[in-house]
Amino acid sequence: MDKKLQAYIDYIEKESKHPSEELIRFHRDQVQQFQHERLIHLIVTMFFALFMVIFFIFFFILNLPDMALTGTWGTILTGCIGVVELALLVVTLFYVRHYYQLENGTQKLEDYTRILEKRDYWKRD
């Protein structure tokens, strides 16, 4: 998705010098698709972050001295929850990075929307 977004930004940057009605309609459709993608990734990122917090709480509770599970099964359960927590942390970090890039790219596209519609009081630097 990052490559697709960057390719479209490069395209619209070049084509925005000669706007037409067809280009403006096409651009609005593309911006809408990228905004939809951004929303979906926000929802997925929030769910991964929620599950990461839930597993962190389970891991923390299982390691409290009064609540600690003893024996082999307690150790295995704590270790499994720790591994799942670590995996969720890594995946969440990658989703946050990806969402950050989508957000910034979509904002650039919205700047180009203003330029194409001759509302260039928000021109990009």
- For residues 50-60, give the mean pLDDT: 91
> Residue 65's pLDDT is what?
67
Q: Does the pLDDT at position 125 exceed 60?
A: no
Q: Quick one: pLDDT band at residue 35, thresholds 50, 70, 90?
A: very high
**What integer pLDDT is reported at residue 122 of this predicted model?**
46
Q: Vertex 110, ends 107 and 116: CA angle to 5°? A: 150
pTM as predicted: 0.75
Specify the pLDDT at position 52: 95
* Secondary structure class of 30 (helix, strand, coil): helix
Domain boundaries, the chain: 2-119
- pLDDT per residue over 60-117, tens digit each? 887 776 666 667 777 788 888 899 999 999 999 999 999 999 999 999 998 888 888 8
pLDDT band of residue 37 (cuts 50, 70, 90) is very high
Helix-helix angle 21-62:71-116, to 10 degrees: 160
Quick one: pLDDT at residue 119?
Answer: 58
Residues 6+ apart with CB under 8 A from 45: 92, 95, 96, 99
For residues 67 and 90, the answer to whether their CB atoms sit within 8 Å is: no
Residue 18 or residue 87, greater confidence: 87
Residues 6+ apart with CB under 8 A from 59: 78, 81, 82, 85
The whole-angstrom separation of Cα 45 and Cα 93 is 9
